[in-house]
Amino acid sequence: MKKTIIIAFVFVNLLSVAAQNKKPELSLTDVYGREFSLSDYTGKVVLINFWATWCPPCRTEIPELIKLQRQYHYAGLQIIGVTYPPERLSDVRRFGKKIKINYPLALGSKSTKLLFTESDVLPLTIVVDRNGEVREIIEGILLPEEFDQKIKPLLSSAATQKPAGEDKASQVRRVTIKVTSSGYSPASIRLQKGVPTQLTFIRTTEETCGTQMVIRAYGISRSLPLNERVTVRFKPSRRGVFKLTCGMDMFKGTIVVR
């Protein structure tokens, strides 16, 4: 009888923890020192991918995640890579640059993963819907069939619905742009007229066409110190295609406002 009571007590507690973590609060610092939280991506479908540089299946999966981020970015998908220890910042930065990861990377801890699950499996992907609620926990490599069945429907919902009371004025379009030896990455940025925009630039190398960022159509000109985050905020006021240059008026990218 006592054993039954204890088991029931543990089960109730596990349910309580699961309920508490249905909409978890998660704050991280990316590998370039930028602080961000899961709530920053409310309105998007977020995949929190736990991985490690020392995990072969993780390294196998990441090129596919890069493709998904590129393909479904404008449908509202946001992938976040969170490492599992032991891990070194320098190794993560080097790996991210080598294969050109196009989504935020942050160093995690065992407690970070425990916010969602006690599973020891890597890689592991947490699917968070547009309202910030955990919808799925996918162990192992994310398969195409799983993406189609469990994530695509959420993307369709994100594209056609908005949280109650939300309009254009309350949204903020956030984009991080890396300045590399070949120019800006991404090189083309799509914005929406009237939606407040935050662009964050990171110059990652000395070998660039210049150390300035210029959006002449909006009167924006900022210097880009090496490996420092430079953020500009503005609200696109007219539609069109505008040049994004890297100093000396050299054309390296476009801003498309619809």
What is the average pLDDT value for the chain, to the nearest integer?
82
Give just the sign of the alpha carbon dihedral 82, 228, 70, 153.
Answer: positive
Q: Does the pLDDT value for residue 205 go beyond 90?
A: no
User: Which 8-state DSSP code applies to residue 123?
Assistant: S
Q: What is the reported pLDDT for 12?
A: 31
Query: In terms of Cα–Cα distance, which of 100, 89, 102, 28 is closest to 53?
Result: 89
Q: What is the reported pLDDT for 248?
A: 58
Q: Does the pLDDT value for residue 10 go beyond 60?
A: no
More confident residue, 223 or 161: 223
User: Which 8-state DSSP code applies to residue 241?
Assistant: E
In this prediction, residues 140-151 reach a mean pLDDT of 94
In this prediction, residues 125-152 reach a mean pLDDT of 94
Q: What is the reported pLDDT for 121?
A: 95
Q: Is 168-257 a CATH 2.40.37.10 domain?
A: no
pLDDT tens string 163-181: 444 444 446 888 888 887 7
pLDDT tens string 208-217: 666 778 888 8
Give 23-160's CATH code, choosing from 3.30.70.360, 3.80.30.20, 3.40.30.10, 3.40.50.1110: 3.40.30.10
In this prediction, residues 231-250 reach a mean pLDDT of 79
Query: In terms of Cα–Cα distance, which of 27, 35, 99 is closest to 61?
Result: 99
pLDDT tens string 23-66: 788 999 999 888 888 888 888 999 999 999 999 999 999 999 99
Q: Does the pLDDT value for residue 193 go beyond 80?
A: yes
Two tokens, residue 6:
């204890």
d(CA 245, CA 121): 44
Residue range(s) occupied by CATH 2.60.40.420 in the chain: 168-257
Q: Does the pLDDT value for residue 192 go beyond 70?
A: yes
Q: Does the pLDDT value for residue 251 go beyond 90?
A: no
- pTM score > 0.75 for this model? no
* Phi, psi of 121, deg, nearest 5: -70, 140
Residue range(s) occupied by CATH 3.40.30.10 in the chain: 23-160
Helix (H, G, I), strand (E, B) or coil at 145: helix
pLDDT tens string 110-138: 999 999 999 999 999 999 999 999 999 99
Q: Which helix (H) or strand (E) holds 126?
A: strand 124-128
In this prediction, residues 89-96 reach a mean pLDDT of 95
